[in-house]
Amino acid sequence: MKYYISTLLLPISIFFISCGDNTTTPLIKDINTLFINDANITLHSTDLAYNTTATVVYTDNSTADATEAVLWTSSNSDVLSAYSGALTPLSNGGNVTITASYEQFSDSKPVQIYALTDYNASFPDINATGTYVFQAYGNFENGDTNFPIVNNIIWSADNDAVIEVTDGVASITLVAGDTNVTATVFGETNTSSPIGPQSKIYTIN
Protein backbone atom coordinates (compact mmCIF):
# COMPACT_ATOMS: atom_id res chain seq x y z
CA MET A 1 0.00 0.00 0.00
CA LYS A 2 2.82 2.39 0.94
CA TYR A 3 4.45 1.70 -2.37
CA TYR A 4 1.37 2.74 -4.32
CA ILE A 5 0.78 5.86 -2.27
CA SER A 6 4.43 6.83 -2.69
CA THR A 7 4.13 6.24 -6.43
CA LEU A 8 1.18 8.59 -6.53
CA LEU A 9 2.66 11.23 -4.25
CA LEU A 10 5.88 11.57 -6.25
CA PRO A 11 4.27 12.91 -9.45
CA ILE A 12 1.87 14.99 -7.35
CA SER A 13 4.83 16.68 -5.68
CA ILE A 14 6.55 17.31 -8.98
CA PHE A 15 3.31 18.67 -10.37
CA PHE A 16 2.68 21.18 -7.62
CA ILE A 17 6.30 22.35 -7.74
CA SER A 18 6.13 22.95 -11.47
CA CYS A 19 2.66 24.42 -11.88
CA GLY A 20 1.35 27.83 -11.12
CA ASP A 21 2.35 30.01 -14.05
CA ASN A 22 -0.05 31.15 -16.68
CA THR A 23 0.89 32.66 -20.01
CA THR A 24 -1.37 35.66 -20.46
CA THR A 25 0.22 37.35 -23.47
CA PRO A 26 -0.83 35.73 -26.74
CA LEU A 27 2.16 34.20 -28.48
CA ILE A 28 0.49 33.31 -31.74
CA LYS A 29 0.30 36.10 -34.28
CA ASP A 30 -3.02 37.05 -35.80
CA ILE A 31 -4.08 38.58 -39.07
CA ASN A 32 -3.90 42.35 -39.32
CA THR A 33 -4.66 43.24 -42.93
CA LEU A 34 -4.87 41.78 -46.39
CA PHE A 35 -3.96 43.70 -49.52
CA ILE A 36 -3.46 43.33 -53.25
CA ASN A 37 0.10 44.17 -54.13
CA ASP A 38 -0.57 46.03 -57.38
CA ALA A 39 -1.91 49.57 -57.02
CA ASN A 40 -3.22 50.37 -60.51
CA ILE A 41 -3.44 47.60 -63.02
CA THR A 42 -3.75 48.33 -66.74
CA LEU A 43 -4.00 45.68 -69.42
CA HIS A 44 -4.40 45.60 -73.16
CA SER A 45 -7.54 43.78 -74.10
CA THR A 46 -5.48 41.24 -76.02
CA ASP A 47 -2.92 40.57 -73.29
CA LEU A 48 -2.37 37.21 -71.72
CA ALA A 49 -3.29 36.79 -68.06
CA TYR A 50 -1.58 39.17 -65.70
CA ASN A 51 -0.71 37.60 -62.38
CA THR A 52 -1.29 39.79 -59.38
CA THR A 53 -0.70 38.73 -55.79
CA ALA A 54 -2.20 39.25 -52.35
CA THR A 55 -0.29 39.63 -49.12
CA VAL A 56 -1.44 39.10 -45.56
CA VAL A 57 0.10 41.22 -42.80
CA TYR A 58 0.20 39.83 -39.29
CA THR A 59 0.08 41.53 -35.93
CA ASP A 60 3.83 41.11 -35.55
CA ASN A 61 4.28 42.95 -38.89
CA SER A 62 5.47 39.84 -40.69
CA THR A 63 3.89 39.08 -44.05
CA ALA A 64 3.00 36.06 -46.18
CA ASP A 65 1.80 35.42 -49.70
CA ALA A 66 -1.95 34.78 -49.60
CA THR A 67 -2.58 34.70 -53.34
CA GLU A 68 -3.74 31.10 -53.42
CA ALA A 69 -5.71 31.25 -50.18
CA VAL A 70 -7.96 34.23 -50.85
CA LEU A 71 -11.06 34.41 -53.01
CA TRP A 72 -10.60 36.50 -56.14
CA THR A 73 -13.58 38.18 -57.76
CA SER A 74 -14.10 40.55 -60.64
CA SER A 75 -16.84 43.20 -60.60
CA ASN A 76 -17.67 42.22 -64.17
CA SER A 77 -16.76 38.68 -65.08
CA ASP A 78 -17.70 39.30 -68.73
CA VAL A 79 -14.91 41.86 -68.98
CA LEU A 80 -12.19 40.32 -66.83
CA SER A 81 -11.73 37.00 -65.11
CA ALA A 82 -9.75 36.92 -61.89
CA TYR A 83 -8.94 33.32 -61.06
CA SER A 84 -6.28 32.80 -58.38
CA GLY A 85 -4.92 36.27 -59.07
CA ALA A 86 -4.58 35.65 -62.83
CA LEU A 87 -6.35 38.58 -64.52
CA THR A 88 -7.47 37.74 -68.04
CA PRO A 89 -9.25 40.27 -70.29
CA LEU A 90 -12.36 38.78 -71.87
CA SER A 91 -13.79 41.76 -73.76
CA ASN A 92 -12.42 44.66 -75.76
CA GLY A 93 -11.93 47.30 -73.09
CA GLY A 94 -13.61 48.25 -69.84
CA ASN A 95 -13.04 49.16 -66.23
CA VAL A 96 -13.53 46.62 -63.49
CA THR A 97 -12.68 46.22 -59.85
CA ILE A 98 -10.98 43.12 -58.58
CA THR A 99 -11.31 42.00 -54.98
CA ALA A 100 -9.25 39.62 -52.92
CA SER A 101 -11.14 38.50 -49.84
CA TYR A 102 -10.96 36.10 -46.94
CA GLU A 103 -13.79 36.25 -44.43
CA GLN A 104 -13.79 39.82 -43.03
CA PHE A 105 -10.55 40.79 -44.76
CA SER A 106 -10.58 42.17 -48.27
CA ASP A 107 -8.90 44.60 -50.62
CA SER A 108 -10.05 45.92 -53.98
CA LYS A 109 -8.16 47.50 -56.84
CA PRO A 110 -9.30 49.01 -60.15
CA VAL A 111 -8.26 47.42 -63.41
CA GLN A 112 -8.39 49.34 -66.68
CA ILE A 113 -8.46 47.40 -69.91
CA TYR A 114 -7.32 49.32 -72.97
CA ALA A 115 -9.53 48.62 -75.98
CA LEU A 116 -8.12 47.50 -79.30
CA THR A 117 -8.94 50.21 -81.86
CA ASP A 118 -7.62 48.48 -84.98
CA TYR A 119 -5.14 45.83 -85.87
CA ASN A 120 -3.04 44.40 -88.64
CA ALA A 121 -2.68 40.70 -89.26
CA SER A 122 0.62 39.94 -90.93
CA PHE A 123 -0.02 37.55 -93.80
CA PRO A 124 3.31 36.33 -95.16
CA ASP A 125 3.86 35.87 -98.89
CA ILE A 126 3.47 32.17 -99.57
CA ASN A 127 3.77 30.28 -102.84
CA ALA A 128 4.65 26.79 -101.68
CA THR A 129 3.32 24.23 -99.26
CA GLY A 130 4.79 24.28 -95.78
CA THR A 131 4.33 25.69 -92.29
CA TYR A 132 4.20 29.44 -91.83
CA VAL A 133 3.89 31.83 -88.89
CA PHE A 134 1.03 34.31 -88.65
CA GLN A 135 0.91 37.11 -86.09
CA ALA A 136 -1.31 40.15 -85.53
CA TYR A 137 -0.41 43.55 -84.07
CA GLY A 138 -2.84 46.04 -82.62
CA ASN A 139 -3.28 49.70 -81.85
CA PHE A 140 -4.93 50.57 -78.56
CA GLU A 141 -6.95 53.40 -77.09
CA ASN A 142 -4.13 54.43 -74.79
CA GLY A 143 -1.90 55.17 -77.78
CA ASP A 144 0.12 51.97 -77.81
CA THR A 145 0.71 50.99 -81.42
CA ASN A 146 1.84 47.87 -83.19
CA PHE A 147 1.48 45.88 -80.00
CA PRO A 148 1.49 42.07 -80.39
CA ILE A 149 -1.94 40.46 -80.03
CA VAL A 150 -1.45 37.39 -77.89
CA ASN A 151 -4.97 36.70 -76.62
CA ASN A 152 -8.59 36.89 -77.76
CA ILE A 153 -7.61 36.18 -81.35
CA ILE A 154 -8.71 33.17 -83.37
CA TRP A 155 -6.87 31.98 -86.46
CA SER A 156 -8.73 29.79 -88.90
CA ALA A 157 -7.96 28.25 -92.27
CA ASP A 158 -9.80 25.94 -94.64
CA ASN A 159 -8.52 23.45 -97.21
CA ASP A 160 -7.33 20.97 -94.56
CA ALA A 161 -4.69 23.39 -93.26
CA VAL A 162 -3.27 22.42 -89.89
CA ILE A 163 -3.20 25.21 -87.29
CA GLU A 164 -1.31 25.39 -84.02
CA VAL A 165 -1.68 28.56 -81.94
CA THR A 166 0.54 29.54 -79.04
CA ASP A 167 -0.04 32.87 -77.28
CA GLY A 168 -1.81 34.31 -80.32
CA VAL A 169 0.90 33.28 -82.78
CA ALA A 170 -0.34 30.76 -85.33
CA SER A 171 1.74 28.16 -87.14
CA ILE A 172 -0.30 27.09 -90.15
CA THR A 173 0.63 24.26 -92.45
CA LEU A 174 -0.71 24.94 -95.91
CA VAL A 175 -1.33 22.30 -98.58
CA ALA A 176 -1.87 22.63 -102.32
CA GLY A 177 -4.99 24.41 -103.47
CA ASP A 178 -6.82 27.54 -102.37
CA THR A 179 -6.61 28.23 -98.62
CA ASN A 180 -8.42 31.06 -96.89
CA VAL A 181 -6.60 32.14 -93.67
CA THR A 182 -8.59 34.38 -91.31
CA ALA A 183 -7.83 36.24 -88.11
CA THR A 184 -10.76 37.14 -85.86
CA VAL A 185 -10.49 39.19 -82.66
CA PHE A 186 -13.14 39.18 -79.94
CA GLY A 187 -15.43 37.21 -82.24
CA GLU A 188 -16.08 40.32 -84.32
CA THR A 189 -17.77 39.30 -87.57
CA ASN A 190 -18.49 42.74 -89.03
CA THR A 191 -15.93 43.10 -91.80
CA SER A 192 -16.40 46.89 -91.93
CA SER A 193 -15.40 47.22 -88.24
CA PRO A 194 -11.81 48.37 -87.54
CA ILE A 195 -11.43 45.18 -85.52
CA GLY A 196 -13.37 43.03 -87.97
CA PRO A 197 -11.96 39.78 -89.36
CA GLN A 198 -9.00 39.98 -91.71
CA SER A 199 -8.26 37.25 -94.21
CA LYS A 200 -6.17 36.30 -97.21
CA ILE A 201 -6.55 33.57 -99.80
CA TYR A 202 -3.43 31.63 -100.73
CA THR A 203 -3.27 29.67 -103.96
CA ILE A 204 -0.59 26.98 -104.05
CA ASN A 205 -0.13 24.70 -107.01
- Length of the chain, please? 205
Cβ atoms of residues 47 and 150 within 8 Å: yes
Among the listed residues 36, 43, 45, 56, the single contact to another protein using CB under 8 A: 56
Asked if 99 interacts with another protein (CB under 8 A), we say no
The span of 43-51, 65-73, 89-97, 164-172 binding another protein (CB under 8 A) equals: 65-73
Among the listed residues 53, 76, 99, 102, the single contact to another protein using CB under 8 A: 102
- For residue 75, the one-letter residue type is S
Classified as helix, coil or strand, 13 is: helix
Other CB atoms within a 10 A radius of the CB of residue 71 amount to: 13
Asked if 108 interacts with another protein (CB under 8 A), we say no
Our CB check for another protein shows the closer of 44 and 109 to be: 109
Our CB check for another protein shows the closer of 67 and 152 to be: 67
Asked if 31 interacts with another protein (CB under 8 A), we say yes
The span of 1-9, 87-95, 109-117, 156-164 binding another protein (CB under 8 A) equals: 1-9
Asked if 15 interacts with another protein (CB under 8 A), we say yes
Cβ atoms of residues 89 and 46 within 8 Å: yes
By CB under 8 A, the count of residues binding another protein is: 36
For the beta sheet containing 177-185, the strands, ordered from the edge strand earlier in sequence to the opposite edge, are 153-157, 177-185, 198-204
Q: Return the ∠ at Cα 114 (arms to 111 and 119), rounded to 5°.
A: 155
- Phi first, then psi, for residue 145 (nearest 5°) are -120, 155
| Pattern 129-148, another protein, x by CB under 8 A | --------------------
Asked if 64 interacts with another protein (CB under 8 A), we say yes
The span of 37-45, 51-59, 106-114, 120-128 binding another protein (CB under 8 A) equals: 51-59
Asked if 65 interacts with another protein (CB under 8 A), we say yes
CA distance 32 to 61: 8
Our CB check for another protein shows the closer of 58 and 123 to be: 58
Q: CA 32 → CA 25, 37, 55, 56, 157, distances in Å?
A: 17, 15, 11, 7, 55
Other CB atoms within a 10 A radius of the CB of residue 192 amount to: 5
**Site residues, another protein (CB under 8 A):** 1, 4-5, 7-8, 11-12, 15-16, 18-31, 34, 56, 58-59, 64-66, 69-70, 102-105
